[in-house]
Amino acid sequence: MNNSDLRIGLWGESDSLLTSAQAREKLKIADQLGYDSVWFDDATGFDEVTLLGEAVRGTERMKIGTAIMSVFTRSPTVLAQTFASLDLLSGGRMVIGLGASSAEYLNRVHGVPSFVRPLQRLREYVEIINLIDARDSPTEEGSQTTSLPGVPIKSCQVGIITKRGWVVAIAGLSAVTFAVSDMARALAFYRALGFRVKYGGETSSFASLVAGASFLNLIHVPNADVRWWGRAIFYVDDVDAQYRRALDAGITPMFAPQDARWGERYFHVTDPDGHEVSFAKPL
């Protein structure tokens, strides 16, 4: 990693970072020193939104986000309105970090009796907030919503916490890299499944293919011997159409699309080098 790629932020423990003049002064100094961001959680007893507002007021440069805010305690429209307001007041520095929290915490603190399909609820919140961002109302006809002008959404933002309390945020998965014994054969396989080559070609030792917001990398390793290692899962808009696409390309999936008990429709294929690849969509 280049030094220019390293971004350091503060893990703002909500019960300590902004509840004293000394702590608020530390946050201001960190902002002046060029720290990238400060993150707050909602599990300490303090109101997370109030502390976000205090951080907006006390800083000028650093990004301000939630790590995390539960999707079981506020409606998506309320979240969109809250972050649209904070983003306007901060000059575009807000980041929404969403997560499901836990059944025990939600029941004990918020009285939420059920913790049903949390990942699906999280995906739905992101979709609804994005709809509001596009100025499409998710509510009944004739009602008004507040648009969310370009606030980044991080689903279940995570980080690495050191003894000093700093955090290096992990924003998401950049790429999965497969070792392949025949680059031309591998590229033909993935092109047939709809992957677009961004870098490299049939004679390259390395190639990168676009996979939504991430990448699938291929690296040429002669005589690569791949045994079962796990599975790469890619979301698609239509699982059955992707299955038919594979069949039309002469690829034999491991099984026909099926609905899983965890709330996804999916099927698997194996590439020419033995990597297991799954195509899925939430139900």
Q: What would the pLDDT profile of 105-135 be if each residue is shown by its tens digit?
A: 677 667 776 667 777 788 888 878 777 665 5
Query: Exposure pattern of 178-197 as b/e (b: 16+ CB <10 Å)?
Result: bbbbebeebbebbeebbbeb
Q: What are phi and psi of 32, to 5 degrees?
A: -70, -30
Residue 79, SS3 per DSSP? helix
Structure confidence at residue 96 (pLDDT)? 84
Least Cα distance to 218 among 234, 229, 202 occurs for 202
In order along its 283 residues, the chain shows pLDDT tens digits of 445 567 788 876 544 555 567 777 888 888 899 999 988 877 666 778 888 888 888 899 999 888 878 888 888 888 888 888 888 889 888 888 888 777 766 776 677 766 677 777 888 888 787 776 655 444 433 333 333 445 555 444 333 333 333 333 345 566 888 888 899 999 999 999 999 998 889 998 889 998 887 889 898 888 777 766 778 888 888 889 999 999 998 999 999 999 988 788 999 999 988 888 899 888 8
For residue 135, the one-letter residue type is R
How many Cβ atoms are within 10 Å of 204's Cβ, its own excluded? 16
**Tens-digit pLDDT profile for residues 251-264:** 999 999 999 887 88
- Judge if the upstream peptide bond of residue 68 is cis by omega within 30 degrees of 0: yes
Identify the structural domains of the chain with CATH numbers, from first to last. Answer: 3-170 (3.20.20.30), 175-282 (3.10.180.10)
| CA nearest to 206, candidates 219, 190, 197 | 219
Q: Which amino acid, 57?
A: R
Identify the pLDDT of residue 169.
Answer: 39
Amino acid residing at 64: I
**161, 169 contact by CB (below 8 A):** no
- Rounded (10°) CA dihedral 173, 161, 38, 119: 50
Q: How far apart are CA 172 and CA 160, in angstroms?
A: 13
Count CB neighbours of 49 within 10 A: 19
